[in-house]
A and B are shown apart, each in its own frame.
Chain A
């Protein structure tokens, strides 16, 4: 079992719809959770981080964390073609400094 798992996609949604990206992790001691966006040929760009159970909203993005279910998700409202990218879920285990464990990423395609 991989430490951080994501559906590889591609996930295709129409413009204006809500895109839902999911991530599960195996280590219950995980403390911090991050979502990065990576455009083809570019480096990952931080979108959001979440530490506590519940929802965290930032503009069109909402991160949801459920530690009991070991599940973290990212919702993108009013999806735009410019949101088309690979979304990477990353986990910091037991506050292990600067060591992030990444999922394989979910490719999102937003169709005009």
Chain B
């Protein structure tokens, strides 16, 4: 079974721009979670989508948004980029509908904001 895929793998943007990242979950997985990883803050939860609905949300500003399509693929968007948005953005998919899901991570998108 193919793993979680993310595109693009690397991205360079300038402050004020916006960016869209894409994630395709493992086949059959309906939950997609997004995380931001930085050296200072570690891995922080952004949001989770399940069956095209946002099910959980972390403590990030409204500039960070996401959506999920009927095929479970997900996108996240960051508007008005700031230098501090430079990070590794990871998505993870899981299969269970209830709690205690085991999440599998994609390779990540490394974003650099100049």
Contacts and interface: CB of A to CB of B under 8 A. Distances in A.
A51 B55 contact: no
A92 interface: yes
Contacts of A98: 31-33, 48, 50, 55-56, 92, 94, 101, 103
B99 A46 contact: no
A3 to B, nearest CB: 11
Contacts of B108: 43
B103 to A, nearest CB: 6
B43 A99 contact: no
Q: Which of A88, A98, A101, A102 is the most central at the interface, judged by chain B CB atoms within 10 Å of its CB? A: A98
For the residues of B in contact with A, the DSSP-based class is strand
Given A43-B108, A46-B104, A101 B98 contact: no
B99 A94 contact: yes
A46 B103 contact: yes
B81 interface: no
Interface residues of B, number: 28
A100 B44 CA distance: 8
B106 A99 contact: no
Given A43-B90, A94-B99, A99 B104 contact: no
B45 A100 contact: yes
A88 B55 contact: no
Interface in A70-95: 88, 90, 92, 94-95
A97 B106 CA distance: 18
A61 to B, nearest CB: 15
B42 A102 contact: yes
Interface in B15-51: 31-33, 35, 42-45, 48, 50
Which 8 pairs between the two chains have the least Cβ-Cβ distance? A95-B99, A32-B100, A98-B48, A98-B33, A102-B43, A99-B56, A43-B105, A98-B31
